[in-house]
Amino acid sequence: MQCTICEIGCNIAEGKYGQCRMYAIEGDKIVERFPCNYFTMLPISIETVPILHFHPRGKFLQVCTIGCNFKCEGCVSEIIASRLVSGKKNGGMSNDQVIKKALEEDCIGIVFCLNDPIVSFFTFKDLARKAKENDLFIGCSTNGYFAESALKELIPLIDFVNVGIKGFSDERYISCGVKSSEPVFRNLKLLNESDVHVEVSTIYIKGSEDEVINTAKYVFSLSKDIPFQIMRFVPFGDAVPQIEPTIRDAEILCDKLRQDLTYVYLFNSPGTEYLNTVCPECGQVIFQREFFGPMGSRTIAYLPEGKCECSVPDLFRGYISKKNHHEPGFMGGYRLTRALEMIHAILICLGIRDDRKLAEIWLNVMETGYLEELHTSSQNLDSYFDVIEHFAALADKKREGMELVDYMKEKLDLIRSGVKNTGRPRVYYSMGYPLFALNGERIENNLVEAAGGESVNQLIKREGKPGVNISQEEFAEMNPEFIFISGFLSTPVSDSYDYCEKHGLSADAVKSRQIYGLRPSWDFGSPRWILGLMYIANKLHPDIFDFDIEKEANRFYEKFYGFSFDPSRQNRSFYGASSK
């Protein structure tokens, strides 16, 4: 029987499944294998989805299931989209309970994101209907590959949608395991002609600028006012690092698109100003936003009633929430997927390669509520070892866990003892551009302290996820002697110097050319932070430490990954120590 939910149109035989593995045959009907199989259910701010022009700052209940109909290289939701499918069983909350939770949490709506509602179509349709009955807004983030008939069933029930576009060409979609791009653009037109609020996000891969430009041209043909989000590609999973554009490259592309489209935004780029909503008439910033984790943003300031004196009509739909919802720890948006990947990073070092075992442990974390403890313990160097031992026990790998802990502790103790009686230079830790400062309590700044530096980030009182934009005056007052750029969602050192020159940022570190970039996942997200610690110690105290970083990395990789270190094959994945 042919599946009529998505445009792939799988022919599903009795006892078999389609490409997404989420549907089966029951009599003469296509049914969900795991209806109401919710994996997460968390209150979030709508900009986390991200949706920027619908009820700004509104509190929504985020839900997701598991699975996806696409197979994209470097997927940010790879864990939920594919790896959990092997371990997840049916169960959890009914749609009535989801509605009840949304109301109890004082949410104004529900959003299905992280994985695609296409793989839970009947569940989502029923949830949407019940949300409407309870005066809750309902929407989703989707790749848009619905069969036309299925989308027409859904449109009367939903209020907003973010359509994630992989590119304009058929080739981009074939690389994701589907037929062509045409169904997505057909559906985008259908959605735009309805009463549904539509925003578009599209991936920007280095060397594929035409894919973004041609997508923008199509969006312009529908309406120049559709919010257009560029997702700077970050090579998770097995994707190679050579296809990651810099933040500056992405901003140049944004400028080109802004010649036609009114609202163009840039994500995955800490410190960029291209998350702000700017009045198309006078250029005044109406909504000021900052980076808020992968694929997310957060409104930090806005003009009264969300408009300037130009009174641009239809800038956004709905009303601005007076209270901004605070999302604790890893809770909310794609930060959850990074938390699961942090667990994966430890398990890989312990020798766990089986997806079923990985899924079993991830489910244990979600069911036992360990995620909050993971967030706290993983930021502190000493309690990180407790995290390793926790997962070593769950995986029945206690011996391997102790080997990893002993190796890391030996290096940590050596460095701590070496800097015990030394002077401590002022050190600033950025992510992306120089004016995005990591939260002071994060592990990166604890690495600085352990390596004999004074973390000036700890002077910053505000907090974000994973940090905040700071002013030029704050930067100058801290006057760091060293600057380190995070190995996650980073920017080239050369771009950092150019940014400092362009914005007149003055500090001892800039004058003495003491800005350094960390290798991916050598300071956060993986036990490889022990290598980052040695690197930082070398830079801060070259009179004390002279670690051969390449040799130390090779030793670590061979011992805990089973292969040699190759700097040319790194990526941003926490668990993936090498791209294929």
pLDDT of amino acid 401:
98
- E strands, 233-279, are 264-267, 277-278
pTM of structure: 0.94
pLDDT of amino acid 374:
92
Q: Which residues contact 514 (CB under 8 A, 6 or more apart)?
A: 481, 482, 483, 508, 539
- State how far the alpha carbon of 383 is from the alpha carbons of 409, 416, 446, in Å: 11, 16, 12
> Per-residue b/e over 268-292, b at no fewer than 16 CB within 10 Å?
bbbbbbbbbbbbbeeeeebbbbbbb
| C-alpha to C-alpha distance for 34 and 2, rounded to whole angstroms | 19
Right CATH for 34-306 from 3.20.20.70, 3.40.50.10320, 1.10.3720.10, 3.40.50.10540: 3.20.20.70
Domain spans in the chain, listed from the N-terminal domain onward: 34-306, 335-418, 426-569
Residue 453's SS3 state is coil
To the question of domain 426-569 being in CATH 1.10.3720.10, the answer is no
Residue 519 gets which letter from DSSP? P
pLDDT of amino acid 569:
82
| C-alpha to C-alpha distance for 494 and 515, rounded to whole angstroms | 9
**Mean pLDDT, consecutive 10-residue segments, the chain of 580 residues?**
92 87 89 90 94 97 92 74 57 89 97 94 98 98 96 98 97 93 98 97 96 98 97 83 92 97 97 96 94 92 91 87 84 82 95 88 88 92 97 96 98 97 96 97 97 97 93 96 95 96 95 96 96 98 97 96 89 80
| C-alpha to C-alpha distance for 236 and 76, rounded to whole angstroms | 6
pLDDT of amino acid 71:
87
